[in-house]
Amino acid sequence: DVKVTQSSRYLVKRTGEKVFLECVQDMDHENMFWYRQDPGLGLRLIYFSYDVKMKEKGDIPEGYSVSREKKERFSLILESASTNQTSMYLCASSMTSGAPGTQYFGPGTRLTVL
């Protein structure tokens, strides 16, 4: 079974703090993704990565950065957390195949910024 894990289920941070959200997958997937999920807005893509050290902006990258130093790990960084970044953050991974394949999601991190 594919397993995608996220470092924290719940996180509370203060405005201005630097926040790291970690995601690890154990199936040697090339592709990894970070989404945020907000009521009424659904899931929105923040950043994604097709390979180690490679990253591309999604639909809402402002205020975020990412790091992918190893294939299995994809980190989301909030350089200076703000209250409007309070949200559920979901990581996902997938294989690169002839056609885009199934995305597997982690359990999510609920981040509250005070």
| Residues between 13 and 32 with contacts to other proteins, criterion CB under 8 A | 31
CA distance 63 to 19: 11
Contact status: 33 vs other proteins (CB under 8 A) = yes
CA angle 11, 104, 45 (to 5 degrees): 65
Number of residues that bind other proteins (CB under 8 A): 27
- Secondary structure element (H or E) that encloses residue 64, with its range: strand 64-70
Piece of 11-19, 45-53, 61-69, 74-82 that binds other proteins (CB under 8 A): 45-53
Contact status: 52 vs other proteins (CB under 8 A): no
Closer to other proteins at the Cβ: 51 or 79? 51
CA–CA distance, 60 with 95 (Å, rounded to integer) = 23
Minimum distance from CB of 78 to other proteins (Å)? 20
Instruction: Tell me how far the alpha carbon of residue 7 is from its chain's centroid.
Output: 11
Sign of the CA dihedral running 31, 65, 14, 37: negative
Provide, rounded to whole angstroms, the least separation between the CB of residue 39 and other proteins.
9
Residues that bind other proteins (CB under 8 A): 4, 31, 33, 40-45, 48, 50, 58, 90, 92, 94, 96, 99-108, 110
